[in-house]
Amino acid sequence: MTKVTLHYDLSRPLSDSDLENIARVHSVYGMVRVQVAPALDKITLDYDASRLMKQDVEAVLARHDIPIRAAAANVTG
């Protein structure tokens, strides 16, 4: 497994329904961890790069209505 970490700023603070959607992201194959910043304005996620690409991750977040900004900071683990 090649773990990659991405950091996203959010376009708005998260609501309760967003937090429920983030919980659902964990069930997507290849998604390892999603962590919300205490201020609810950023998320950090780890994914298996042998299973998903960055574009796949962003598509999953979009399908789950997570309000990410376009650019993510990449940190390879």
Q: Residues 44-75: pLDDT tens digits?
A: 999 999 999 999 999 999 999 999 986 655 65
The overall average pLDDT reported for the chain is 90
Where are any strands of DSSP class E within the chain?
3-10, 31-36, 42-48, 68-76
Percent of the chain at pLDDT > 90 equals: 73
CB 77 within 8 A of CB 17: no
Reduced to 3 states (helix: H, G, I; strand: E, B; else coil), residue 1 is coil
Q: Name 53's Cβ contacts closer than 8 Å, sequence gap at least 6.
A: none
Spelled out in words, what is the top-level CATH class assigned to the domain 3-76? alpha beta
What is the mean predicted confidence (pLDDT) over 2-7?
Answer: 94
37 vs 58: CA distance, rounded Å = 18
Q: Is the pLDDT of residue 76 over 70?
A: no
- Predicted model pTM: 0.84
Kindly list the domain boundaries of the chain, sorted by start residue. Answer: 3-76
What is the mean predicted confidence (pLDDT) over 8-18?
Answer: 91
